[in-house]
C-alpha cells in the first residue's frame, strides 16, 4: 500500500536447549574444554594426543608444514599450556595463457590444563616430522598416609 509502512516481522527462532547445562562440570573435561575454547576464539582446534609416560605429561600436536621457529608459540598462563600456530601458504601456477594464485591462511590453537604442581621451568618442546611434542614433568606423588581407624566408644 502506497505511503504506508508495512511492519515486517521476523519468524521467531526456536528455543535451543542449553546442551552444556546437561553436562555439569564440562569445563573441567580437558579435551572438551580446549575444543570449546578454540571454537569460541574463532580458531581451528589442532589435533593433539595426551598421555603420561615416565612421570611426564606428553602432548603431541599435528602441525605439518609449519615452521616451528616462526609460526608456533607455546606459553604457560594460569596453570594452562597454550599452543598456537599460524599457517600461511601460497601457490602459484602459470601455464599458457593461464595464471592461478592461491592463498591459504589458518590459525590453530589448543589449551591444555596442567596438573597441580607442574612447574613451567622444566617444560620442553621439540618438533619432528610435522609433530610438535611438549613434555611437562609431573610433580612427584607424595605417599598417601595409611587410613587411621577410629574406635567407636560405647556409652
What value does the mean pLDDT of the chain take?
Answer: 77
Strand intervals (E) in 54-139: 56-62, 72-77, 80-95, 98-113, 124-128, 131-137
Instruction: Give the span between the Cα atoms of 120 and 3, in whole angstroms.
Output: 70
Give the start-to-end residue ranges of the domains of the chain.
Answer: 46-137
In this prediction, residue 97 carries a pLDDT of 82
| Topology of the domain covering 46-137 | Immunoglobulin-like (2.60.40)
Over the stretch 66-92, which tens digit does the pLDDT of each residue have? 888 999 999 988 888 899 888 877 888
Supply 129's cell numbers: 616430522
| Torsion sign, CA atoms 10, 11, 17, 20 | negative
Report helix, strand or coil for 66.
Answer: coil
Q: What is the pLDDT of residue 44?
A: 65
24: pLDDT strictly greater than 80: no
Quick check: helix, strand or coil at residue 39? Answer: helix
> In the numeric block, which cell numbers belong to residue 101?
594464485
pLDDT per position as a tens digit, 96-149: 888 888 877 778 888 888 888 787 788 999 999 999 999 999 887 777 788 889
> Residue 128's pLDDT is what?
94
Percent of the chain whose pLDDT exceeds 70: 71
Q: Of 126, 111, 124, 129, which Cα lies nearest the Cα of 65?
A: 129
Residue 61 pLDDT more than 50? yes
User: Going by DSSP bridges, is the β-strand pair 72-77/80-95 parallel, antiparallel, or unpaired?
Assistant: antiparallel
Alpha-carbon distance of 38 to 40, in angstroms, equals 5
- What is the structure's pLDDT at 39? 56
Q: Residue 128 contacts by C-beta under 8 Å, 6 or more apart in sequence?
A: none
Amino acid at each position: 500500500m502506497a505511503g504506508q509502512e508495512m511492519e515486517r516481522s521476523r519468524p521467531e527462532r526456536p528455543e535451543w536447549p542449553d546442551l552444556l547445562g546437561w553436562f555439569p562440570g564440562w569445563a573441567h573435561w580437558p579435551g572438551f574444554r580446549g575444543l570449546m575454547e578454540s571454537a569460541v576464539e574463532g580458531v581451528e582446534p589442532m589435533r593433539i594426543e595426551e598421555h603420561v609416560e615416565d612421570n611426564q605429561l606428553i602432548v603431541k600436536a599435528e602441525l605439518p608444514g609449519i615452521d616451528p621457529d616462526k609460526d608456533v608459540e607455546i606459553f604457560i598462563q594460569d596453570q594452562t599450556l597454550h599452543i598456537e600456530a599460524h599457517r600461511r601458504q601460497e601457490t602459484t601456477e602459470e601455464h599458457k595463457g593461464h595464471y592461478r594464485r592461491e592463498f591459504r591462511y589458518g590459525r590453530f590453537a589448543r589449551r591444555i590444563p596442567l596438573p597441580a604442581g607442574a612447574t613451567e621451568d622444566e617444560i620442553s618442546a621439540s618438533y619432528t616430522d610435522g609433530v610438535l611434542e611438549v613434555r611437562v614433568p609431573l610433580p612427584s606423588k607424595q605417599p598417601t598416609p595409611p587410613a587411621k581407624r577410629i574406635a567407636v566408644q560405647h556409652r
